[in-house]
Amino acid sequence: MKKLVAEVENLKAYYKVKGRILKAVDGVSLGLRDGEVLGIAGESGCGKSTLAMSLSGLFLPPLKYYGGKIKLKDIEISKMDRKLLRKNVLGKKISFIPQSAMNALNPTLKIRNFVIDVLKEHEPELSEEEIIDRVEERFDSLSLSKRVINSYPFELSGGMKQRVITVISTLMNPEILLADEPTSALDVSSQHQIIKLIKTLLERRIVKSVVFITHELPLLRHIADRIAIMYAGQIVERGTTSQIIFSPLHPYTKMLMSSIITPEKGMKGKELPVVSGSPPNLYEIVAGCRFAERCPYVTEECKINEIKFHKIGDREVRCLHPLTERNGINAAK
Partner 1 sequence: MSPYFKYILGKLKWYVLIFFAALFLNFFLPRLIPGNPISALVAQMAGGGASSDVLNKLYNSYIHEFGLDHPWYVQFIDYVVKVFHGDLGTSFSLYPTKVNTILAQALPWTIALQVPSILLGWILGNILGALAAYKKGKFDGTLFPITLFVSSIPYFCFAIILLYLFGVILNILPIGGGYSMALTPTFSIVFLTDALKHYLLPFLSLLLVIIGGQAIGMREMSIYELNTDYVRYAKLLGVSDKKIIRYVFKNAMLPQITGLSISLGTMVGGALITEIVFSYPGIGTWLFNAIRQQDYPLIQGGTLVITISVLLANFLIDIVYGIVDPRIRASQLEE
Binding site residues, partner 1, CB under 8 A: 53, 56, 58, 60, 86-87, 89-92, 95-96, 98, 100, 102-109, 114, 117-118, 121-122, 152, 154-155, 165, 168-169
CB of 224 to partner 1, least distance (A): 22
Q: SS3 sequence, 275-320? A: CCCCCCCCCCCCCCCCCHHHCCCCCHHHHCCCCCCEEECCEEECCC
The values of phi and psi at residue 30, to 5°, are -145, 155
Q: Which is nearer to partner 1, 181 or 237 (CB)?
A: 181
CB of 49 to partner 1, least distance (A): 11
Query: Which one, of 180, 48, 47, 164, lies nearest residue 112 by Cα?
Result: 164
CB of 314 to partner 1, least distance (A): 34
Q: Which is nearer to partner 1, 197 or 236 (CB)?
A: 197
- Grouping H, G, I as helix, E, B as strand and the rest as coil, residue 97 is strand
Q: Which is nearer to partner 1, 122 or 199 (CB)?
A: 122
CB of 206 to partner 1, least distance (A): 16
Burial (CB count <10 Å: 0-12, 13-18, 19+), residue 129: exposed
Q: Which is nearer to partner 1, 152 or 309 (CB)?
A: 152
Q: Which is nearer to partner 1, 11 or 90 (CB)?
A: 90
* R_g over Cα of the chain: 21
Q: What is the DSSP letter of 206?
A: S
CB of 192 to partner 1, least distance (A): 23
CB of 237 to partner 1, least distance (A): 28
Instruction: Describe the strand order of the beta sheet including 209-214 as a list of residue ranges.
Output: 94-97, 176-180, 209-214, 37-41, 226-231, 234-240, 315-317, 310-312
Cis preceding-peptide flag for 62 (omega within 30 of 0): yes
Q: Which is nearer to partner 1, 154 or 246 (CB)?
A: 154
